């Protein structure tokens, strides 16, 4: 592949929130997960797992519990005297948090515990860092895999939208619905389907605003 071809994949990818009724095949799902698993990870620990939910009723149930928890947060804000903020939370954040509801597939990205020979033999015995740092290592690698997944989906003619709303609002309910093991962190959910819209490219910060070169 030439560089320009790759850059087009990167620049043309969009976060899509509207999908057609066309199903996503198991082959498509397996192919993009195949690309995801070749992402880099700390000491090749591969701290990722994925749950691909194709059951529409289950996806709608995940949407329902997310809205339920969102309204509870809004009510809690109102009880604190923050009625305006509570209403904005439900009205503005709600549609973003549940934009997966019409997607034919919802992929739940998990981060598994970080384990390696270095941690077992060196890091843990000397108390190198806290356990919270190792939890972050798992999330970092899971994020790298998620980006591979989304670029692969786009290259395959599919669309995605990464979201953390259900994780922030209804993680306990999501764990119960999907029988997620306690040791796994829920990183994000990614809607997957055939696009029914073509969002415009959003503005990005200039290179010179985000890059420092030290020579």
Distance CA 175, CA 180 (A): 5
Residue range 58-74, pLDDT digits in tens = 999 999 999 999 999 99
Mean pLDDT along residues 72-78:
92
- Mean pLDDT score, 77-96: 90
- Domain 19-198, second-level architecture: 3-Layer(aba) Sandwich (3.40)
Q: What is the pLDDT of residue 134?
A: 84
Structure tokens given for 116: 């390696």
Whether the Cβ atoms of residue 104 and residue 58 lie closer than 8 Å to each other: no
Total-model pTM: 0.92
- Dist CA 47 CA 43 (whole Å): 10
Identify the weakest region by mean pLDDT among 39-43, 103-107, 144-148: 39-43
Question: 1 pLDDT exceeds 90?
Answer: no
What confidence score (pLDDT) does residue 24 get?
98
Q: Given the structure tokens 């989906």, which residue do they identify?
A: 153
Q: What is the DSSP string of 83-108?
A: HHHHHHIIIIIHHHHTTTTT-SEEEE
Question: Does residue 139 carry a pLDDT above 90?
Answer: yes
* 156 CB-contact burial (10 Å; exposed 0-12 / middle 13-18 / buried 19+): middle
Burial of 37 (0-12, 13-18, 19+ CB in 10 A): middle
Question: How large a percentage of the chain has pLDDT more than 70?
Answer: 100
HSE-CB at 37 with a 13 A cutoff on CA atoms is 8
Please choose, from the candidates 163, 47, 27, the residue with its C-alpha nearest in 3D space to the C-alpha of residue 96. Answer: 163
Residue 148 pLDDT grade (very low, low, confident, very high; cuts 50, 70, 90): very high
Q: Are 139 and 146 in contact (CB under 8 A)?
A: no
Residues 116, 85: contact at Cβ < 8 Å?
no
- Token code pair at residue 24: 């996503």
More confident residue, 94 or 142: 142
């Amino acid at each position: 592949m030439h560089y320009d071809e790759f850059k087009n994949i990167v620049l043309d990818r969009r976060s899509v929130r509207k999908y057609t009724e066309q199903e996503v095949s198991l082959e498509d799902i397996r192919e993009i997960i195949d690309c995801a698993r070749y992402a880099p990870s700390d000491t090749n620990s591969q701290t990722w797992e994925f749950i691909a939910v194709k059951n529409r009723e289950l996806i709608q149930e995940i949407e329902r519990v997310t809205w339920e928890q969102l309204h509870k947060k809004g009510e809690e804000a109102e009880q604190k005297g923050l009625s305006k903020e509570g209403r904005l939370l439900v009205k503005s954040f709600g549609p973003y948090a549940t934009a997966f509801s019409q997607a034919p597939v919802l992929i739940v990205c998990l981060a598994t515990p970080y384990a390696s020979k270095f941690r077992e033999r060196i890091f843990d015995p000397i108390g190198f860092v806290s356990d919270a740092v190792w939890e972050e290592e798992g999330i970092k690698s899971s994020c790298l895999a998620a980006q591979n997944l989304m670029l692969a989906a786009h290259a395959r003619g599919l669309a995605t939208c990464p979201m953390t709303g259900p994780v922030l609002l209804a993680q306990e309910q999501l764990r119960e619905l999907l029988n997620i093991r306690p040791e796994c962190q829920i990183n994000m959910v990614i809607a997957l389907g055939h696009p029914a819209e073509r969002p415009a490219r959003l503005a990005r910060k200039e290179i010179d605003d985000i890059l420092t070169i030290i020579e």
